[in-house]
Structure 1
């Protein structure tokens, strides 16, 4: 199929972008967009159009389920972390967005820790060239598929809500502790709390296959994502033995921005792999419990709304990017209900998780993107 260069089919409006630091933003009704979506709401706007925003830096490059491009409509403000594209005549804006959402950026982005898609490289990107009628047919079909996906995601959210409701029913809110459970520090119920390291040479030390090397982008709220996973060799893994993972270790992300819905700060998940089959980098904490408390119970505490608010209060750093220090992780307050009660909750959550897996299998069979 014939392709067309992005710079030939779009007006590139990057020169009109204006970043505003968080301290200087005036609150208002207009969305303030960055690489991955809404960052804030501000009092003024600089765009009023049908546009596609494509991540410049800090995007989900390489992800199979988190897009690097998204559609915006109407009055908004865009910072300098997203390219601004307006389709020319003959190009449907939704078709453009679908074409870019999961674009393979291998060879286009650069940067070891924070990858960047420069405007020069972005201009070289290709999308399939189709007649406008065909574009619109494709868009209608993909919209139907994405609607199915949305419905399944709503189902997963309802199941998550069911688990949270059951937790509150059995234990109450874990920070306020209205049921008066004994409270211990996380280090009092753990045998190890540590963070990993970045191998010498950084990403240049990664290999095509080997020991799974988890980074903050792999740790989400109560789940580990492996679509953008790195690997290290056995020798590097051995040199980082202290952060080698064991089954049922809890992972907590160390750094992130606090003004985004999906902030990477303080996300927690349970590692269910085999002992010594994975390692972590310096942006992830490892918590190994001592057996006196149920891991699923602790992760539910750490991923709840009450704990998200607690972590925002105790974290340190600048206005935008913060981190949790190891002593703060060690001092995390954890309620201690009877062990059998914790196990009952874990069994209930496991049954709900089976329903979640069934729902995920159903909607993950549907694709919703184009490739050039």
Structure 2
């Protein structure tokens, strides 16, 4: 993340409205239900939103979030490039650099910018065109812009490759699961059959009340912190220990439990592999595994198979407020191999996770390297 206070005084500082044109008048929102699917990408504040049968733009441009962007966590990205025939809705500003301004460089300046000084609104932050025009941009000579963009591109490529390696290991794990136990849909090895409810002691969720967040305290996890196979400890919110005690009376996560998303994005499972105290939002179910029947590390891989995921989607009700009810999720069907066979898989998984940890540590290093280069680039010390 960069901010207006980290720009330094080496390069001239310009306003975005002076170095780029806004093409906002040409954008047009189309409700998803009214879109005719076609070959052209349909973009919004945070990237690709779908596909459409027509286009509004046909050139290299930058999109900068207007509303609905990651303004509270710009490291997730608030600007990105588009090219070719595209359609843009009214949630992203459409920016075209003026002569003497390199598009790649300008996008690198904007992509992780702390925009809070120019955001209006409280419930839903908004970056108006007037506010966006005031964003401060360090502007070295064009050749220097291109040099900086090239260095950041190379650093970004390194961190992307590390992330791809992590994803490949995840794919290998799921492929090994199917190889060892067979496709759950057909159960070719004839394992005993059962349901999720047969292999857990309980499925509970947090209190059905909105939490009061605090600056520090007990980490409070929501669905965005649960991905298939892992808990993500980024962008955390906190509640007081007093409020946490209320949550823990209903469900308190402990090592070996499973978190299973049941609201919004449903059907993703991860194992609790920490002794850290934390609480969960109502949209995250806490599954207490019956260790006499299944290993937690095996069960989480089972739930993240395509077979179980598709069942979770059938059991998810609602459109605007999607919910995978506790009483429905326990009916998800699965096969149940012997504990000896599960242990073989868990042993393989543990070895693979050691490699994964090395990649994640190196990925963290390259992430920090990129941020360091980013700050040096825009304060004139790169």
Superposed displacement of residue 265, structure 1: 3.3
Does structure 2 retain, via aligned residues, the 8 Å contact 1:64–1:227?
Answer: no
* Residue equivalent to 2:5: none
Alignment of 1:313 onto 2:314: yes
Contact 2:308 2:332 (8 Å CA) reproduced = no
For residue 116 of structure 1, report the CA deviation from its aligned partner.
3.3
Per-residue deviation, 1:65? 5.7
TM-score (norm 1): 0.87
Q: Which residue of 1 aligns with 2:126?
A: 117
**1:1-372 aligned within 5 A:** 1-2=8-9, 3-63=13-73, 66-106=76-116, 108=119, 115-119=124-128, 121-197=131-207, 200=210, 202=211, 205-241=212-248, 242-256=250-264, 264-274=265-275, 277-291=277-291, 292-318=293-319, 322-366=322-366, 367-368=369-370, 370-371=374-375
SS at match of 1:255: coil
Q: Secondary structure at the match of 2:82?
A: strand
User: What runs of 5+ residues in structure 2 fail to find an aligned partner?
Assistant: 1-7
**For residues 203-230 of structure 1, what are the alpha-carbon distances to aligned partners after superposition, in whole Å with 9 as ceiling and x for unaligned?**
xx32222111111221122122222001
C-alpha separation in 1, matches of 2:145 and 2:326: 52
- Counterpart CA distance in 1 for 2:279 and 2:152 is 38
Query: Contact 2:308/2:334 (CA < 8 Å) preserved in 1?
Result: no
Instruction: Provide the rounded CA distance (Å) in 1 between the counterparts of 2:309 and 2:91.
Output: 25
Match of 1:260 in 2: none
* Structure 1: gaps (5+ residues): 257-263
Give the distance between the partners of 1:335 and 1:64, measured in 2 at CA. 43
**Normalising to structure 2: TM-score of the pair?**
0.84
1:30 Cα shift? 0.7
**Superposed CA offset, 1:135-154 (max 9, x none):** 11111111111221222223
Preserved CA contact (<8 Å) 1:45 1:75: yes
- Which structure is larger by alpha-carbon Rg, 1 or 2? 2
C-alpha change, 1:85 and 1:311, in structure 2 (3 Å) is: farther
Superposition misfits of 4+ residues, deviation over 6 angstroms: none
